[in-house]
Homo-oligomer: A and B are copies of this chain.
Amino acid sequence: RVDGRRLWASLMDLAAIGATPKGGVCRLALTDLDRQGRDLFVRWAEQAGCSVRVDGIGNIFARRAGTDPDRPAVMTGSHIDTQPTGGKFDGNYGVLAGLEVIRTLNAARVQTRAPIEVAVWTNEEGSRFTPVMMGSGVHAGAFTLAHALAQTDAEGVSVQQALQAIGYAGQAPTGAAGTVGAYFEAHIEQGPVLENHGKVVGVVTAALGQRWYNVRLTGMEAHAGPTPMELRKDALLVAARLVAEVNRIATVRAPHGRGTVGSLQVFPNSRNVIPGQVTMSVDLRAPDDVQLLAMDQDLRAVCERFAQQSGIAIDIEQVVSFPPQPFAPPLVESIRAHATDLGYSAMDVVSGAGHDAVYLARVAPTAMIFVPCADGISHNEIESAEPEHLEAGCNVLLRAMLAAAEI
């Protein structure tokens, strides 16, 4: 079993780097604070006897050798960059749970046949540089290293420049070909399902597919007083109906359909002017392609119908797409079995959010372990998790990795 207090102490040590007054962490990707966090991880990994390599996109791999040199690594990991007003656990937990696995194996003098690796993926959050999940995306070949290196932040600094500035433009080759035998990622749930069901371990069977859209509605600006209701072309009125439809489109696909309008802007946004234009985002998620495509078609049909009925022009543009990603059934089953074995209350869940594991699943058998976070709140300085829950998830991770790596 892992040492829950050691895990917690490491989480708190890492959280000190970029700590915010409200108890959160601000450690944006490839900043000097990120360097300090990386340096701390590398020091800890080397103290634990690992060899450390860094690849061209700055992903860090800490390796504990196995007894069989021909075996691909059994890997775990996550990220240590945070949102601008992020918490102590999102990402950091998955990295330090991996380190705790290695420390536990060391303390117990356990040799595994396959090597064990802990990965720290570069820029998962996407706050400073887009796209999100950059390091794992390059690793999985979702986009090229050159594409990733050329991205710039709001100040015009490129990923390449930022990597060089903090000394993490590594020499190891990028890409996963044959190097990963199995990938596990432990993460806080970032949602309320486990807490709501009173469960400690979430057995993640899949990640929802995502489609993000920009929608623009164009009506006719007019004075709110002298314009009779029947002569209006109110873009906000139609946008409001679309918000309700996005909700319906997801709600009828319970329990895993999701539909969200997170962002909406009104023009000219003046009290006594009928809105002439509205722009809004739509975020649709579903566990399988059939549902996701049906939701996409439903959305487009609703837009077309509303445009015809109202005389409001509706433009819809898809801006992001992730296919649904099932995780590897044998690894999922292993997590489920070990959680039960260890006496933890567990339930199957899906990951509603994107994670590095979603990219890794494209190139290696992959599964995830969730633990609850308070009120399901994440991407927030008040993000909070119970030490016992973090320990529980780490024990399941240890068992599942041992099973995959073999003794």
Contacts and interface: CB of A to CB of B under 8 A. Distances in A.
Given A193-B228, A376-B222, A271 B262 contact: yes
Interface stretch (A52-60, A159-167, A232-240, A299-307): A232-240
A109 to B, nearest CB: 38
A208 B272 CA distance: 14
18 contacts: A191-B228, A192-B228, A212-B271, A222-B377, A226-B351, A229-B254, A229-B257, A230-B254, A231-B376, A236-B262, A236-B264, A239-B240, A240-B243, A260-B272, A263-B269, A264-B264, A264-B269, A271-B281
Contacts of A111: none
A326 interface: no
Contacts of A285: 224-225
B231 A378 contact: no
A225 B208 contact: yes
Copies of this protein in the complex: 2
A250 B262 contact: no
A64 interface: no
A353 interface: yes
Given A262-B274, A272-B283, A247 B222 contact: no
Contacts of A380: 221
A242 to B, nearest CB: 8
A243 B247 contact: no
Given A224-B283, A262-B266, 13 more contacts: A190-B223, A193-B226, A193-B228, A193-B231, A212-B272, A222-B376, A223-B353, A223-B376, A228-B255, A262-B269, A262-B270, A271-B281, A272-B283
A237 B229 contact: no
A189 interface: yes
Contact of A225 (B244, B273, B352): B352
Nearest to A380: B221
B192 A227 contact: yes
B262 A190 contact: no
A259 interface: yes
B192 A260 contact: no
A241 interface: yes
A105 interface: no
A71 interface: no
A280 to B, nearest CB: 9
A4 interface: no
